[in-house]
Amino acid sequence: MKHLAPTSQLLMRSLPLLQLSNSIVIINPPADLFCRELLDAGINNLSVLSSNYYIYQYIKENSKENTLNIEFTSKFITKGNNRADLAIVYLPKEKPFRDYLLSRSLGTLGPAGKVWLVGENRAGIKSAAKQLTKISASVVSKLDSARHCSLLETQFNNASRSALESQLQAHSKAQPGFNLHFNQKDWNFTTLPGVFSYAKLDPASRMLLKNLEEQPVSGHILDFACGSGVLGICASSLQPDIRLDLLDVSAMALASTEINLKQAGLAADTTQLLASDAYSEVKNRYSAIISNPPFHRDTRQTLEVSEALIHQAPLHLKAKGELRLVANRHLPYLALFEQAFRQVKILSSDRYFHVIQGKYPIIYRT
């Protein structure tokens, strides 16, 4: 079962129990073939809800010959009156996102539905058991453990259902966020659970914003890995006639950005949101690409996204276009820039971060 994540391998040990379920919804799955395994085992009444575009595309592509109801979503609600008798929630590393998913799982379940929470020990499954008990107001049982993972089960009682429904209604009206003074204006940004730098502005983005205020970008701009949209939205206030595209792999990030675009009063005809795995859905060429790119995926450090951002940038920039990003100083991005651009500069720097600019993509060399 090398094609399965450790959490999915643990779930497969409970295949006989899964085959007894009339309807299953899987929430926040990894990029593996677990859904394909269930379909091959004759479990057909299966729904999948993912907020990660890469994972959504991976599962969809690897199940295309089967009938699979899969959605890329930030809401984690099944369509129509379809309600499952089992919701399988894969534990995310961020606690606010964990609580959001567990609360949202209520809306996918029928009256007697159960919740399975599966996660790795290093992702905090042991502490999640306490929160699951609190949310469900019911007994939480450990069904299985192996491969440094645990599988927990609970069932929402009537009291916890009513309380959760009230919390979800209140949560939808009052989201956490942060305030920012930029370009002689006070801004308010909303962030949703699962979005980078939840409820605060991170210091690296703050550095890049300061640099953009000193040296603005113009024309058609792409905010790559936009998160809450703070970089693109603020940058667009510095120059007239800017067109702004904002890209992220996360539906939670895109939902946050959509809220913030409306709060900023940006016109719909000058902005575009893109669900994309790196540049997979990008069709335009830009005057500038700006980014505070991620260097973690789940609990591990990886430069996959940043390497794709830099290496492929020349394919998506105009002849005199630029890529400007902020990054931790220890990350090896300068060498990657020098392979992709004829002119590379460090525009600002401190003990922890620096802003790198690459201009004149090498793809245009004659």
User: Sorting pLDDT into bands at 50, 70 and 90, what band is 366?
Assistant: very low
Give Cβ neighbours of residue 84 (< 8 Å, ≥ 6 apart). Answer: 21, 23, 24, 25, 47, 78, 108, 109, 110, 113
Q: What is the pLDDT of residue 365?
A: 46
Torsion angles phi and psi, residue 333, rounded to 5: -90, -25
Q: What tens digit of pLDDT does each residue of 220-270 get? A: 999 999 999 999 999 999 998 899 999 999 999 999 999 999 999 998 889
Q: What tens digit of pLDDT does each residue of 126-162 get? A: 889 888 888 777 889 999 999 999 999 998 776 566 6
- Round to whole Å and give the CA distance between 110 and 157: 12
Q: What tens digit of pLDDT does each residue of 65-110 get? A: 777 899 999 998 876 667 899 999 999 989 999 989 988 888 888 8
Q: Which of 136-140, 184-188, 262-266, 314-318 has the lowest mean pLDDT?
A: 136-140
Give domain 6-172's CATH architecture: 3-Layer(aba) Sandwich (3.40)
Range with top average pLDDT, 46-60, 104-118, 300-314: 46-60
How many residues are present in the chain?
A: 366
Residue 184, exposed/middle/buried by CB under 10 A (0-12, 13-18, 19+)?
A: exposed
Q: What mean pLDDT value characterizes the chain?
A: 90
Q: What is the pLDDT of residue 357?
A: 98
Task: Note whether 6-172 and 177-364 share their fold.
Answer: yes
Q: What mean pLDDT comes out for the span 309-338?
A: 96
> How much of the chain, in percent, has pLDDT values that exceed 70?
91
DSSP 158-172: HHHHHHHHHHHHHHH
User: Sorting pLDDT into bands at 50, 70 and 90, what band is 171?
Assistant: low
Q: What tens digit of pLDDT does each residue of 194-215 get? A: 998 888 999 999 999 999 999 9
Please, how many CA atoms are within 13 Å of residue 262, restricted to the half-sphere of its CB?
Answer: 6
Q: What tens digit of pLDDT does each residue of 54-77 get? A: 999 999 999 877 778 999 999 988
Q: What is the pLDDT of residue 47?
A: 93
Q: Among 3.40.50.150, 3.40.190.80, 3.30.565.10, 3.40.640.10, what is the CATH number of 177-364? A: 3.40.50.150
Q: Which of 19-23, 174-178, 208-212 has the lowest mean pLDDT?
A: 174-178
Measured in whole angstroms, the distance separating CA 303 from the mean position of its chain's CA atoms is 16
Q: Determine the straight-line distance between the first and last CA of the chain, rounded to whole angstroms.
A: 50
Domain boundaries, the chain: 6-172, 177-364
Strands (E), 42-162: 46-50, 69-72, 84-90, 109-120, 141-146, 149-154
